[in-house]
Structure 1
Amino acid sequence: MHQHGIGVWMAKRRLKSPDKVALVHGEGSTLTYAQLADATDRVAAVLRDQGVGKGDAVAYLGENSPEFLQVMFGAAQLGAVFVPVNTRLAAPEIAHVLDDSGARVLIHDPEFAPRVAAAVPAARTPHVVVTGDGDADRPGLARLARTAATDAAGPVATDHGDPAAIVYTSGTTGRAKGAVLTHGNLTWVAINCVVDYDVVSTDVALMISPLFHVASLGMGALPVILKGATMVLEKGFEPGRALAQIERHGVTMLSGVPTTYQLMADHPSWTSTDLSTLAKLTCGGSAVPPRILNAYEARGLSFSQGYGMTEASPGATSLPPHMTRAKQGSVGLPHFFTEVRITDVSGEPAPTGSVGEIEIAGPNVFPGYHGLPEATADAFTPDGWFRSGDLGYLDSDGYLHISGRLKDMIISGGENIYPAEIEQLLGELEGVTAAAVIGVPDERWGEVPWAIVTVRDGAAVDVEAVRAYLDGRLARYKLPKNVIIVDELPRTASGKVRKADLRARFGV
């Protein structure tokens, strides 16, 4: 078998661009591609010493750091399967990920030790290693790597069809499912990004979103490494620091969700920060509200927006910046090597402009859920398209518009109401900073829409103001019957609103 997996990426980067800065982390520390590749070889040796071989799962629980990438690529060199763990998970959720994936090794940052201690006994993970030096009794990854003997034989042979990662879905309903992503999936999503976002070797990407989320990994880190560009790794997001890092490092690429961009535009340093190097802004999670577009366009910046999900590694479509206004509300065209179609309730292709289920195909689409053959079978059509569970339509130019989740669709008096349509308009209402629309049981209509919103301090937003704003923009049966103001909306790591939480709280 030839070596076609991501396990050779570090060696190839060491050969092609050894002295190029690969990572900037902490307070300005750097690693060249040669240094990153050498460190990855040593981490692979540590994992091998822990008994890791082809097909074994290696879990990682930690913030953005060089070690995250070293463990991922080190596992890939052994033909092992990388399992990034969401740092927001509670101990029982961590235990589920470890147990379900069968992780042989868990590597974690020291600050997560209490949760790990509570999770691992239930998860039966044989080896637990902390990042850093650890101590004499429990040597950490860095200490172990310094004395590990690297394997002169090189990476284990893998093919594009072999599993490279198991990424657990956010688990908005029931327990999280592990989406198996192959070496081919991760390769092709990176290629899609290089093509559609014009990633080049001179780019400097600021990574403010967690790498454990597949969007940051598959559409951020991987295309940057594929092109030999530079990443500035941040452990978390703070708007003032993000602005300072853009100016300090000449950042050219930035990815985030609408809230990320809003917080940066609202920061006191916004107008004084030099943003002249920024050229590529991508936004996912939800549509970019006009107020954010206006703020960035005033600084000469525009967005690429897109749509995707874990099962697509995650990119499915992208809307280029020059079409942001012309196709406002759309999430764009399918990525270059990806296909999207809309089907009706009978599974037949839906007419242009008709709402139906969004289905996705391409080499970036996963083969299935780990250990769940029935869920995998249910996720695909007989002819092999992934059923997203999302509703949308294609306009006459082939651009995709999202209408919402199948399970989120509201049926009121026999009429279908798509929350995304209402949410997009609410995002344009002065004073509203974020909005989610859910269906609430109603004796007369079956269900009626309620709007859950966050607002700026002092904003006069209530049900009358919302209904008055939307009246004439939407059919009256779509107008929210109630408006509830909250401090923040519950979100997944990718920034998507957890509507199941809202329905549980407000679905009276």
Structure 2
Amino acid sequence: MRDEGIGRWLPRRRLKDPAKPALVFGDEVITYGEFADTAARLGTALRARGVAPGESVAFFGENSPHFLTVMFAASHIGAVFVPVNTRLAPPEIAHVLADSGARVVVHEPAAAERMAAAAPGVARVSADELAGIAASVAEGETPADLEPHPTDADAPAAIIYTSGTTGRAKGAVLSHRNLTWVALNTIIDYDVVSSDIALMISPLFHVASLGMGALPVLLKGATMVLEPGFEPGRALGQIARHGVTMLSGVPTTYQMMADHPEWAATDLSSLRKLTCGGSAVPERILNAYELRGLSFSQGYGMTETSPGATSLSPAMTRRKQGSVGLPHFFTDVRVRREDGRIADTGEIGEVEITGPNVFLGYHGLPEATAAAFTDDGWFRSGDLGYLDGDGYLFIADRLKDMIISGGENIYPAEVENLLSDIPGVSGVAVIGMPDEQWGEVPWAVVTMRDGKSLDTAAARAHLDGRLARFKLPKRVVVVDELPRTASGKVRKAQLRESLASTV
């Protein structure tokens, strides 16, 4: 297979389907021909601003054609794309930009002041301004300018930041090969076809929306309807208006649509594929959608696997309820015991993954990268699970204590580190507790020095502006003592069990 990077995708689509709608945004329809031309010209504009092959281009903004054209523009000139989560606090944004070595950050016009505060040392340009530069540069273009930069498939294509267990976000480096093969896995296992119309309601800065949402649709030559943010009533309206066939989300978004007053009256007959990630689909959501003749594909993965590792087909949703499915077509999964031996059927161990979708490593962190892989090259997920007799994977526990709230990943360590700075706090553990709307939310369980106190409002005030708001604890519980193992590690499972009755 000739694989010269994702920068080649749009020129090939322009050749095959120049007049076909690629992106729909509000009343704007962008064809594959227009999309390819815009990305090439934006790439030329980035090059004119001094961006060289291998350097990073960051983007800050919600879902829009700007997001995708900047990503393909970066790939067009051999640069590395760095999407920035718009929910991050200024210090978190500054870390992503500094750590990635971003040469320039492109942002939506409305984010100009926020970028000036969070990225004073990084070259900044609004997406509209960049488009103007591209238009002026276009006058002097030659056919060679519109040709993508030759790129090796194993070269970095994107750096996606994932919160680390040590409290600092780590940049997962995804190659062009990684993004190509996760798109192929999705096309095969979720049956993406060129006639699909996909509604994008989840943020593209999340690796699931990008790697398993946008890229498979564009590789296959289908059409994507972009929503700048999720609003359940509007999403239902878009399904009916555009005849949407494909929808991806998390349990919270699906529940909010089912709870909306327009749910029963909305024509959903065009929908054929629903995919859900982030956490298992609760029974109440399965029931609500099955009453409308709809069922889900579910899956499991992480940023480091671009992100798909396994998928559970709609046909097996009930028969294998609780499972995250089988390995994707071009991916393998195994479970290994603590003693290093491969686990038997039904035996719990660490889930390990290999395949062309597994990332290159953590940006600038060789020791963390080495620790993430086994001696024979499999990625260590940090999750505990088991395989049943049919090869279906079940996740038993999160070895890394990650909390998934409304599809957003929260690593307790970064919250705990900041809470520990509050005067009077002597011990802290952040745990995920069940929540009807978000699946789970973070709670902070703390011990205090004599005479000191802490409430939820004070804890949130201390963290506000330092962390994204979705990471702030929804409740603070003060206890006399945190349960610990003999080595001093907090027994978080015991904490969750002891507080279950107070939810």
Structure 2 CA distance for partners of 1:87 and 1:505, relative to 1, 3 Å: farther
- Identity %, equivalent residues: 66
Match of 2:134 among 117, 139, 145: 145
- C-alpha distance in structure 2 between counterparts of 1:503 and 1:351, whole Å: 40
- Match of residue 92 from structure 1: 91
How far is the alpha carbon of 1:234 from its aligned partner?
Answer: 0.3
Aligned residues: 430
The Cα shift of 1:405 comes to 1.1
**AA partner of residue 152 (structure 1):** P
Indicate conservation of the 8 Å contact 1:196/1:318, yes or no: yes
Q: What is the rounded CA distance, in whole Å, between the counterparts of 1:372 and 1:311 in structure 2?
A: 14
Give the secondary-structure state (helix, strand or coil) at the position aligned to 2:400.
helix
Aligned match of 1:321 in 314, 322, 326?
Answer: 314
Contact 2:40-2:148 at 8 Å conserved across structures: no
2:52 corresponds in structure 1 to 53
SS at match of 1:216: helix
Matches within 5 A, 1:59-458: 59-121=58-120, 124-125=121-122, 127-132=123-128, 140-149=129-138, 150=141, 152-153=143-144, 154-171=147-164, 173-408=166-401, 452-455=433-436
Residues 172 and 380 from structure 1, CA distance in 2 versus in 1: closer, same or farther, beyond 3 angstroms? closer
Cα RMSD (Å): 2.9
* DSSP 3-state at the match of 1:331: coil
32-41 vs 171-180, which moves further: 171-180
The TM-score, its normalising length taken from structure 1, stands at 0.80
Q: How far apart, CA to CA, are the structure 2 residues paired with 1:322 and 1:146?
A: 50
Tell me the distance in 2 between the aligned counterparts of 1:305 and 1:89.
Answer: 27
**Amino acid in the other structure paired with 1:319:** L
- Partners of 1:207 and 1:325 lie apart in 2 by 26
How far does residue 403 in structure 1 lie from its aligned partner after superposition?
1.2
Distance 1:71 1:143 in 2: 14
Counterpart secondary structure, 2:215: helix
Q: 2:165 touches 2:400 (CA, 8 Å); kept in 1?
A: no
> Per-residue displacement from partner, 1:88-127 (whole Å, max 9, x unpaired)?
1111111111111111011001222222112222xx32x2
Write the letter of the residue equivalent to 1:21.
P
Structure 1 gaps, min length 5:
133-139, 410-418, 424-435, 439-447, 457-484, 491-496
The answer for the alignment partner of 2:450 in structure 1 is none
Match status 1:4 vs 2:4: yes
**Deviation by residue 1:221-240 (Cα, 9 ceiling, x = unmatched):** 00000010000000000000
- Amino acid across the alignment from 2:18: P
Distance 1:172 1:501 in 2: 17
Cα distance change, pair 455–85 in 1 and its aligned pair in 2 (3 A) = closer
Q: Separation in 1 of the partners of 2:368 and 2:245? A: 40
**Cα deviation, residue 408, structure 1:** 3.2
Change over 3 Å in CA distance of 1:406–1:151 after alignment to 2: farther
Q: What's the counterpart of residue 31 of structure 2?
A: 32
Q: Secondary structure at the match of 1:407?
A: coil
When normalised by structure 2's length, the TM-score is 0.81
How far residue 3 of structure 1 moved from its aligned partner, in angstroms, is 6.1
C-alpha distance in 2 between matches for 1:79 and 1:189: 20
Instruction: List runs of 5+ in structure 2 lacking aligned partners.
Output: 413-428, 438-455, 458-462, 464-469, 483-503
**How far is 1:351 from its partner?**
1.0
Q: How far is 1:172 from its partner?
A: 5.9
Q: Distance in 1 between matches of 2:329 and 2:152?
A: 22
C-alpha distance in 2 between matches for 1:275 and 1:106:
39
Counterparts in 2 of 1:451 and 1:313: CA distance versus 1, 3 Å: closer
With a CA cutoff of 8 Å and minimum separation of 6, indicate the structure with the bigger relative contact order.
Answer: 2
Deviations 1:298-351 (A, max 9, x none): 000000000000000000000000000000000000000000000111221111
Measured in 2, the distance between the counterparts of 1:375 and 1:264 equals 40
Paired amino acid for 2:250: V
CA deviations 1:331-386 (Å, max 9, x no partner) are 00000000000011122111110111110000000010000000000000000000
1:454 positional shift: 3.0
| Paired amino acid for 2:65 | P
User: Letter of the aligned partner of 1:144 in structure 2?
Assistant: I
TM superposition shift of 1:504: 7.6
Report the residue type matching 1:130 in the other structure: S
Show the counterpart of 2:424: none
- Deviation per CA, 1:131-173, whole angstroms, max 9, x where unpaired? 22xxxxxxx1221122123452211111111000000003464
